[in-house]
Amino acid sequence: MSDSRPIPKIYYDQAFTLCYYSELLWQKSLVEGNGGNLSLKLENNLFLTTPTLHSKSGLNETDLVIVDSLGNQLYGERHATSELFAHLAIYKNNPEIGGVIHSHPPYTCSYAFSDSIPSVPLSAESVIWMDELILAPYNMPGSQEFIDQIESLSRGRHVLALQNHGLITWGKDLKEAFWRTEVVESHCKVSHIMESRGAAPRHFTYKQMTQLNDLRNRFLKD
C-alpha cells in the first residue's frame, strides 16, 4: 500500500491527542531538535505514530503515520519514527496499553548518560507511576539488539531509562505515559538536588512501601 495517503479522518481525534502530547513534551523541554517519538494504539491492531526527522512541536494530522503491527506503513505522507519497532515491541509485550512516549528529559538523561540511576521511589507519585527505575545498557538505537532488549525489559514495567539515549514510558493511554515521563523527570531532578546538597535520601519503610503498593494497585485498577 502507498505511504503517501493521508490518515483517514475517522482518526483525527486520536491524531489531535497525539499532537497535543507531542507539543507538551516540546513545551516542557522534555525533547529537543527532532528528538523523541510518540505512538498510540488504534483499533484493528493499527498504530498512529509521529514522523521521523520532525520537531515534536507544530505537528498536525497531515504529519502523522499509521502502521500495522508488523511496521508496514499504511497511511501518511511522511515516514514513521525510526524508533517504531521499539514501540511495537512494547505493545506486543503489553497488550493492555494504549500509548508509548520516548523522550529526553534533561535530569533523567543526566543519570541515563552515566552508569547509574536513582532506582528507588522516594514519593507516593513515584511509587504509583514509576515503580522501580532500571537503566537498560546501551544498544544502538533502532538496531535489532535494541529492539530485543526493549521487548525483554518492558515486560511487567511501565518505564525504562535507556543508557546514553533517554527515557521510554507507556500506559493505558498517552496521558498515563506522559504522567510517567513527568514523574520520572521530577524524581531524577529531586535526586540530583539532594546529591548536590550531600543529603541522603529517606527511603520508605517496608510497611510504608506495602501500603503504597496496595494504593498503587487499587489506583491503577480503577
Q: Which member of 83, 176, 182, 185 is catalytic?
A: 83
Q: Active site includes 83?
A: yes
CA 45, distance to chain mean position in Å, is 19
* Closest to 31 measured CA to CA, from 23, 42, 20: 23
For helices 84-93 and 144-153, give the axis angle rounded to 10 degrees.
30
Q: Cα separation of 189 and 107, whole Å?
A: 5
- SS3 for 40? strand
* Closest to 110 measured CA to CA, from 12, 188, 18, 3: 188
Residues labelled catalytic: 83
